[in-house]
Structure 1
């Protein structure tokens, strides 16, 4: 166990652990994202389509926030962008707690999306800045592990808070976000270099590879245009939209489907908490279990398993059966998360990490808009069975596309990878 713990957590920078601790504090109180759909439909008595539209507006704000946050992270720094988003997001949650009008909630949801998602590119870019490439799979795995540790606590505690008073769902979330911002303000250092990083591959032994890397990495002056003309990266982000559409149903249409089967919101909280518990138990073993698998293979396997899990939801009608489907798609999620993050990091030129993180986070925001709006529409007008079988079909299609597009991604990652450290050779002594 000591060796496993050392292999899993040893040697990571102290600044990474500050980010890790801030994530834990924030996620333990992350109540709103879990219970907002239930709050909108049971407390405010909005229809599933109206609730889906608010969730979609939230995601639209996140799309704008990702763009602004990515540019800000590169131009003015990671730390100030991260903290600004957190403080402003907490203020928006406080306002949302005491707003009852439909369009008032929708407007605040949009603003919260801007601020909360505006902090994400800075966080991702800072993690890549801080952690050497050889340790990033472990770092992303540990970060995802703590996200779900917090989620497991939040899903259970949010159910208790909602049973007592739904205002607590918003107030506790805002308070933990402010505590996180305060902690990171006093512990984190700015990780962005004051001068632009030069192309790390300029000294590559292959002249073709070095020139390609230089062309990508020296394009910082082009801003977001460079990212939106990177075909290899955009295909990867587009596949993530489809995968995220399936995955995000657990926060939007799944609680509504469970409510239609007579399952209470508190029971939904316990069932969905299984997702976090499973990841807390199993995620730290993923690097060992997937050792020897390529990132492309991991992404394809994850897509198949996730689609299968959501497809099985078409048959579920009891809490135990729903819990079984959560178990299946959580396995896919555990394989997908580190492979997705490390692939994203490998495709990001050093000078443009904030922008690339912003555009990749945009793929989540797009899925966050499409998942509740399209998912809610299909659920209301076509039925749950069609929705869950569609999720299974999307999972299989994405797996095939990951396999087809994988070789081009790995060639690009090899071009952008930093060269191995030079080995100094001592002169052979003359006898």
Structure 2
């Protein structure tokens, strides 16, 4: 049995093109230093003495910049190519993260967070477009799962190390984040600069060639559901660490380990799960995943024990695994080489918008109605989102 599990795990990685692996390495390098956003709320409240609401507004400013970056990155990707956008975004944002450490007033931090977000988040549609180009449609779910594995392997390292660095000096977080961004930029330039802009594909799924993403109704409805899910997901950077710090009384390194547990689960089991169910009823799986994801947060107030909170992390991590890689594949399969950047840009835009809605709404509910009610509201949203995925599944089945 153990040999069979190992064999299945290995087979889930086979057959992916070389460029898919290289693009995932870029993400791994970058994400291994991702720690500023995870601890930004604590940094603003603990080190700079901002209120919880003010800190939430700061994170929302990042989301506002990320929205612009998503649109800009998607547009530039279709104009100048994926490699150039990735390299420029990583290098400039790396310098930005280092400089962010030297600002202290609210207006300075807000403006610079906006700038960093606009530049840094333009990387996402470029990288996602490159993945969609590099992988054929039947392998795209696994290609995005591998990319997410790289993200979460990096996040396994980033927050855990960041939690330790924060106990010493928060300055180290900004330098680590900046240096790894610059290192990822150098990697992109080495492997992709002055080379052919990835292999083109012309495979399409249920969409007329050249259709605007703004006219693709199933796609837009999917983005709406993901916007809700993203608004809860960003609580990991916002209300979640505040809750663990103030209510359960965990310290920073313990919080970092819980976030790392989520990343470790994605690293260990996402690829085999996606490989096993690849090509099956993905929207139904996403409905199940949304129930697990929102439910994991909803049951968190029932106990403050560390092992219990770790168990809730496992639950919402399983939900995340059943939603995000298939959502990326769904979007990529509805685009062609002429508008893929715009599709992936708008896809990234929806998550950027959640960075505005999520922190503002989350901290408001947290302070106005109490932390527990914030998590109970997540359970209600989970039922709504799951129903939305099932509705979309029925609509597409009838249409086909």
Output the TM-score relative to the length of structure 1.
Answer: 0.86
Does the Cα contact within 8 Å between 2:125 and 2:344 map onto a contact in 1?
yes
Partner of 2:240: 254
- Give the 5 Å matches for 1:329-348: 329-348=316-335
Tell me how far 1:349 sits from its aligned partner: 2.9
1:39 aligns with 2:25: no
Equivalent position SS for 1:9: coil
Does the Cα contact within 8 Å between 2:144 and 2:329 map onto a contact in 1?
yes
Does the Cα contact within 8 Å between 1:94 and 1:174 map onto a contact in 2?
yes
* Equivalent-residue separation in structure 1 for 2:333 and 2:384 (angstroms): 24
* Equivalent-residue separation in structure 1 for 2:218 and 2:387 (angstroms): 16
Tell me the alpha carbon deviations over residues 15-52 of structure 1, each in whole angstroms, 9 at most, x when there is no partner.
22111111111111111121111111111111111010
Tell me how far 1:243 sits from its aligned partner: 1.1
Quote the RMSD (CA, aligned, Å). Answer: 2.0
In 2 relative to 1, CA 270–85 (structure 1 residues): closer, same or farther, beyond 3 Å? same
Equivalent position SS for 1:217: coil
2:365 to 374, 378, 385: 378
Partner of 1:241: 227
Does the Cα contact within 8 Å between 1:130 and 1:191 map onto a contact in 2?
no
Tell me how far 1:5 sits from its aligned partner: 5.0
In 2 relative to 1, CA 320–75 (structure 1 residues): closer, same or farther, beyond 3 Å? same
1:10 to 8, 11, 14: 14
1:158 aligns with 2:162: yes
Tell me how far 1:288 sits from its aligned partner: 4.5
Q: Which has the larger radius of gyration?
A: 1
Does the Cα contact within 8 Å between 1:28 and 1:153 map onto a contact in 2?
yes
* Equivalent-residue separation in structure 1 for 2:103 and 2:319 (angstroms): 37
Partner of 1:397: 384
2:79 to 52, 75, 78: 75
Tell me the alpha carbon deviations over residues 277-323 of structure 1, each in whole angstroms, 9 at most, x when there is no partner.
22222222212553564111111011111111010122232332222
* Equivalent-residue separation in structure 2 for 1:241 and 1:29 (angstroms): 26
Partner of 2:258: 271
2:114 to 110, 116, 138: 110
Partner of 1:26: 30
- Equivalenced residue count is 393
Does the Cα contact within 8 Å between 1:155 and 1:269 map onto a contact in 2?
yes
Between 343-352 and 302-311, report the one with greater CA deviation: 343-352
Partner of 2:216: 230
Between 120-129 and 156-165, report the one with greater CA deviation: 156-165
- Give the 5 Å matches for 1:78-227: 78-188=82-192, 189-191=195-197, 213=207, 216-219=208-211, 226-227=212-213
Show structure 2 runs of 5+ residues with no match: none
Does the Cα contact within 8 Å between 1:121 and 1:358 map onto a contact in 2?
yes
Show structure 1 runs of 5+ residues with no match: 202-208, 220-225, 415-431
